[in-house]
Amino acid sequence: MTFNSPDVMKTHLDIKSAAYIEAILDYAEKLLGIVFKPVKKNRYNALCPFHADTENKLMVYVDKKDEVRFHCFGACRGDWDIYDLIMLQTKQGFTTAQQMWAEHLDIKDFKPYAGTGPSIPEPGKTAEPDDTIVFAEPGKLDEKIVAAMNHAAGFYNALLMSNKKQFQHIWDYLARQGVDKSVVDKFNIGYAPPYSDTRYQGRALTDSLLPRFENDFKTFNEFLDGGLIRFLNDNTAKAYGYYYRQIDFRRKALFSRNYGDSFAGRIVLPIYDADANPAGLAGRLPDDRGVRWLKHQSNEIALSSGSWLYGIEKAGPFIRQYRTIILVEGIFDYFAFYNLLKDQDKLVVVSTLGSYLTPEATAILKGLGIEHFIVAHDWDANGRSGIERVAAKSGGWVYYLGGPAAGQTPYDMLRPVVSAIPGFSLKHP
């Protein structure tokens, strides 16, 4: 098929116009592995190849600028031209996509557009994301979402526990943080392999659930709404340039082609409330870039880290007994104190997962009758103010230990203050 004109230099706009709609449809069908059905003049639809579509939500039409456009009226809400589709499928840049399309049309006199490309980012511009994601306001958890979270936590734990050799770098990292196999088992800690993993390709959980998803679409929505599976072609995501490159058209299953594990590349730690009910999952990269919290992407079922106190479900009875709490900032700080206190029946430590005590967490502490607040990290001004207000209302006191010095153990940090707490002696580990 050739569209050459002897006297006219074609532009990138020319060759995506309505005059080329049949060629565009034919190329897109082969490129994406779909079949378009005519609806009316210059309108066609098909199953969207970028999300789990069951109702022909992808529409092809000619807009007011005479451009052939592709728009999904389903879950992904994507809007593309032929260059976008080439970029999505081939992971090439805008300039290359133009050249590929012109060559397919056998157009010799073509002038590519040298400016900014369309909506798809240039490949290689966005690395794996390392941003802290803000949480939504808390909402009531649906039982099926809770079941999905529990399943994911158990799956990632079993994956880590049964693949020690493959994930030796994770076990080594956890060991350096004072987390051994017994702690991994007790706290249901798991690991989600990254997108760069040649075996799992960031889809360990997703692929394991394919038979369930294909048998019952509602099950898929429970994991998607629960924030456990990520839609890779979400152009509102901060790191869209990274995630869209993980779309894999070699995969026949739409659930696996266009979706991946939300926690891919992270150590997965379940979070529970004071009554040991699931509250969410936390994911941490196995390096020094810090904890990365994942927002559960649902307007109806939103989770908040505001009320999260890691370890509260285990500490509650001891806190009430000794009217004492030890507050640490990070999860691995928590495990350092846990290893000291677990065998002495004084497990009063919780992690605030940050240096600020939220109003939700404050309300939880108020109900525990605490008199002695031991803060084992360097809090910011807001954090200090919050905990001091809680202590004042309970008639208690606050002792700031600060962060641990080099080589200092939790026992060394606590030794100066435990004598002030009735019945709270500690033995050297």
Domain shared by 319 and 265, yes or no:
no
Does one domain contain both 151 and 232?
A: yes
148 in the same domain as 287 = yes
At 72, list the tokens. Answer: 């999904």
CA angle 175/180/186 to nearest 5° reads: 140
Mark whether 107 and 243 lie in a shared domain.
no
Q: Please say which residue of 60, 94, 111 terminates a domain.
A: 111
Q: What is the DSSP string of 319-337?
A: HHHHTEEEEESSHHHHHHH
Q: What pLDDT, on a 0 to 100 scale, did the predictor assign at position 30?
A: 93
Report whether 311 contacts 349 (CB < 8 A): yes
pLDDT at 133: 38
| 298 occurs within a structural domain | no
For the chain, how many residues are written? 429
Residues 149 and 259 in one domain: yes
Strands 190-192 and 372-375: unpaired
Task: Specify whether 270 is located in the same domain as 354.
Answer: no
Tracing tokens 């104190």 back to the chain, one arrives at: 337
- Residue 45 forms beta bridges with which residues? 37, 59
Is 429 among the domain residues?
Answer: no
Q: Are residues 328 and 394 in the same domain?
A: yes
Q: Provide the pairing of β-strand 324-328 with 349-351.
A: parallel
pTM metric for this prediction: 0.79
Q: Which residue has the tokens 């995969």?
A: 251
- Same domain flag for 245 and 348: no
Residue 213 belongs to domain with CATH number: 3.90.980.10
What's CA 80's distance to the chain center, in Å?
Answer: 25
**Residues ≥6 apart with Cβ < 8 Å to 281:** 149, 152, 153, 227, 228, 263, 268, 269, 270, 271, 294
CATH number at residue 348: 3.40.50
How buried is 68 (Cβ within 10 angstroms: 0-12 exposed, 13-18 middle, 19+ buried)? buried
Residues 158, 284 share a domain: yes
Non-local (6+) Cβ contacts of 291 within 8 A are 282, 283, 284, 330, 331, 353
State whether 272 and 326 are in the same domain. no
Q: DSSP alpha helices (H): ranges in 204-330?
A: 204-208, 210-215, 217-225, 240-243, 254-257, 312-322
Residue 76 CA to residue 221 CA, distance in Å, equals 13
In a domain, 299, yes or no: no
Q: Is 124 part of any domain?
A: no
pLDDT at 305: 63
Q: Tell me what percent of the chain is helix, strand and coil, each rounded to the nearest 5.
A: 35, 15, 45
The per-residue pLDDT string of the chain (429 residues; one tens digit each, 9 = 90 and over) reads 555 555 578 899 999 999 999 999 999 999 998 999 999 999 999 999 888 888 999 999 999 999 999 999 987 888 899 999 998 888 888 999 999 999 999 998 888 888 766 667 666 655 565 544 333 334 556 788 889 989 999 999 999 999 999 999 999 999 999 999 999 999 999 999 999 999 999 999 999 999 999 898 889 988 988 889 989 988 887 788 888 889 998 888 888 999 999 999 999 999 888 888 888 888 888 876 654 555 444 333 445 567 788 999 999 999 999 999 999 988 889 999 999 998 888 999 999 887 777 778 888 888 888 889 999 887 777 778 878 888 887 778 888 988 877 788 898 899 888 888 888 888 887
**CB contact set of 216 (below 8 Å; sequence gap of 6+):** none
Q: Which residue in the block uniquely carries the two structure tokens 């435990």?
A: 418
Q: Tokens standing for 392?
A: 């004042």
Structural domains of the chain, count: 3
CA gap 46, 60 in Å, rounded: 9
- Alpha-carbon distance 32 to 16, whole Å? 17
Residue 2 lies in a domain: no
Determine the Cα–Cα distance for residues 407 and 327; give it in Å rounded to an integer. 20
- pLDDT in the model for residue 308: 83
Q: Which of 292, 323, 343 is the last residue of a domain?
A: 292
Which residue, of 292, 327, 359, is where some domain finishes? Answer: 292
* Whether the Cβ atoms of residue 248 and residue 257 lie closer than 8 Å to each other: yes
Q: Which residues pair with 374 in a beta bridge?
A: 326, 399
**Residue 55 maps to which CATH number?**
3.90.580.10
Domain check: are 337 and 263 in the same one? no
Q: Is 264 within the bounds of a domain? A: yes
**Residue 8, pLDDT score:** 72
The position carrying tokens 């009735």 is: 422
Has residue 76 been placed in a domain? Answer: yes
278 in a domain, yes or no?
yes
Q: Are residues 166 and 254 in the same domain?
A: yes
Question: Which range of residues forms the domain containing residue 325?
Answer: 312-420
